Amino acid sequence: MPLATSHQFVTEDPDPNGSGLDPFYFSSEDEAKERIARYGLLGAVLNLLEPVMMRSEPLINGTAIERRKLEKFWVWLERDGAPKLIEGLKASILEKPTKTDHLVVSGFTQLVAPLERQYEAAEQNEETRRRLTIQLGGYEVYASFPLILAAFKHFEKLRAAVELALHIRQYNTEKEFSDLIDAVDLPSGEEQKLWCTALVNCMEQPDKFMRGVLDHCYGETEQTVRKSGYGPYGDAMVVNLQQMVDQIEDQAGIYSDVDLICLSISRFHRIARTLHYYLDLGKSSQWNHSIEILTGRVSKVLEKRLAEVVPHVTTVLHTSTQNAHALFTTDKVLQAYNSVYLLDAARGARESLAVNSIVDKSWTELGKSLEILLERAMVDQKAAPFGDSLAIAKVDIAIKLCAIRFGAEYAQIMMKKRDNIERRKLNPEAIDQKTPQ
């Protein structure tokens, strides 16, 4: 299989599909105008920078941009930094909304130089720096100024990193990933860490990629990986772990995206396991320290949710048949399903998430509760008239939950038992003749 280099994906005119991550393009020009009018130019910029954006402050400097700081920087940019250029760019995008990506990239190429001059002037004069810091909204935003400029300056390279990540999704073996490391030219400039973050963020198998990286290192510690020249890849792995934790923390409430949470948990586990299993990360390791912080954050969030799994399931299946119509008018069923799916995902990653105790406890209690509650639901089904939709629905909910907890084979057996209950109501004599005495 031919290997790809990062240069292969750098073009003058960005691919209309952009990064491949919810691109800022629409089939209808009117729809595009409406979206841009609603979210503004910042929405297009955030879309381009999505792979290197963070909800929290990155644990490793220079690897990603905290969204809150970029938003504050943007307020200053529109108001004081380059208002005329920004307004002109907005007008151009409204005229040609399907060219948003290209217009933003070319427009910000002109924007970077004057912004760099403003920052250099602030660095050379204390009073200018003080005023700029106030205008930006604080020192933290001022400190992020160079990193934000680097991202603006290297839109193309970040997009190339994303395209490379999408391309190597066809790779499956560790040898292919190992060979890839030789073929890819790791940037050496200010964009290096951002480039690695964008690449890792969009990879489908970051764990296999990291194992390919380690094939080229002269030792099994963070220090030897850095001396081998591949430290930025390890930094990007840690930052991607943080992006996963951010996503898990963001998804709260009944209507949280449980699929996204489960995928984030799985990805966190694969990366963390690779770093810990293939590397000897001592107490002085920055990667080890960062992983400990992130594990603490994610376990704190998940422990609370996992403790609610059995109560959510019990609330739904304890509902009497006479009141089962409530199942169709409340969010309790959704909560029950989401909770069990979350528990199942956490169970597969419990060691990396440091939630062994709560997972094992909830898993055992869930199994006992489901067996009892399913049996009760079937008793209610037997007592109900033939074809009672509410009684059958309650049994179906219990069986679907059992499919997650006990597996598909168990669920199929219970479904046959459910069907036999209904057949017995129609023709009890025929069923009794088939039943051994």
Domain encompassing residue 92: 29-157
Tell me which range, 21-35, 141-155, 246-260, is most confidently predicted by mean pLDDT: 141-155
Give strand pairing partners of 18: none
pLDDT at res. 24: 31
Domain check: are 389 and 427 in the same one? yes
Could you give the CA distance from residue 66 to residue 348 in angstroms, rounded to a whole number? 30
Of the chain, the percentage scoring pLDDT greater than 70 comes to 86
Domain check: are 35 and 72 in the same one? yes
Of the chain, the percentage scoring pLDDT greater than 90 comes to 58
Q: SS3 of 110, please?
A: helix
Could you give the CA distance from residue 197 to residue 2 in angstroms, rounded to a whole number? 24
pLDDT at res. 197: 96
Domain check: are 256 and 315 in the same one? no
Q: Is 252 left (phi over 0), alpha (psi -120 to 50) or beta?
A: beta
pLDDT at res. 82: 87
Helix count (H) and strand count (E) of the chain? 22, 2
Domain-embedded: residue 284: yes
Domain check: are 147 and 212 in the same one? no
pLDDT at res. 437: 46
pLDDT at res. 322: 66
Domain check: are 62 and 136 in the same one? yes
pLDDT at res. 212: 92
Number of domains in the chain: 3
Residue 213 has pLDDT above 90, yes or no: yes
Could you give the CA distance from residue 116 to residue 96 in angstroms, rounded to a whole number? 28
Residue 324 has pLDDT above 80, yes or no: no
pLDDT at res. 20: 33
Domain-embedded: residue 5: no
- pLDDT tens digit sequence for 382-396: 888 887 888 888 899
Domain-embedded: residue 180: no
Which of these three, 285, 301, 317, is where a domain ends?
301
User: DSSP secondary-structure letter at 378?
Assistant: H
Domain-embedded: residue 14: no
**Do 162 and 51 meet the contact criterion of CB atoms below 8 Å apart?**
yes
Domain check: are 239 and 315 in the same one? no
Check residues 213 and 40 and name the one with the higher pLDDT.
213
Backbone angles phi and psi of 273, in degrees to 5? -65, -40
Hey, what amino acid is at 126? E
Domain-embedded: residue 84: yes
Domain-embedded: residue 189: no
Predicted structure pTM score: 0.84
pLDDT at res. 12: 35
What sign does the CA torsion over 201, 207, 212, 216 have? positive
Domain check: are 315 and 286 in the same one? no
Which of these three, 301, 317, 345, is where a domain ends?
301
pLDDT at res. 275: 93
For residues 199-223, average pLDDT: 92
- pLDDT tens digit sequence for 140-164: 999 999 999 999 999 999 999 999 9
pLDDT at res. 325: 67
Could you give the CA distance from residue 343 to residue 314 in angstroms, rounded to a whole number? 15
97-101, 116-120, 276-280: least confident range: 97-101
Backbone angles phi and psi of 408, in degrees to 5? -65, -35
Domain-embedded: residue 109: yes
Per-residue confidence band for 36, with pLDDT thresholds at 50, 70 and 90: low
Residue 114 has pLDDT above 60, yes or no: yes
pLDDT at res. 39: 66
Could you give the CA distance from residue 205 to residue 130 in angstroms, rounded to a whole number? 45
- pLDDT tens digit sequence for 335-363: 899 999 999 999 999 889 999 999 999 99
78-82, 245-249, 322-326, 384-388: least confident range: 322-326
pLDDT at res. 174: 84
Domain check: are 277 and 338 in the same one? no
pLDDT at res. 416: 93
Backbone angles phi and psi of 367, in degrees to 5? -60, -45
Domain-embedded: residue 325: yes
Residue 219 has pLDDT above 60, yes or no: yes
pLDDT at res. 38: 66
Q: Which helix (H) or strand (E) holds 164?
A: helix 155-167
Domain check: are 266 and 344 in the same one? no
Per-residue confidence band for 33, with pLDDT thresholds at 50, 70 and 90: low
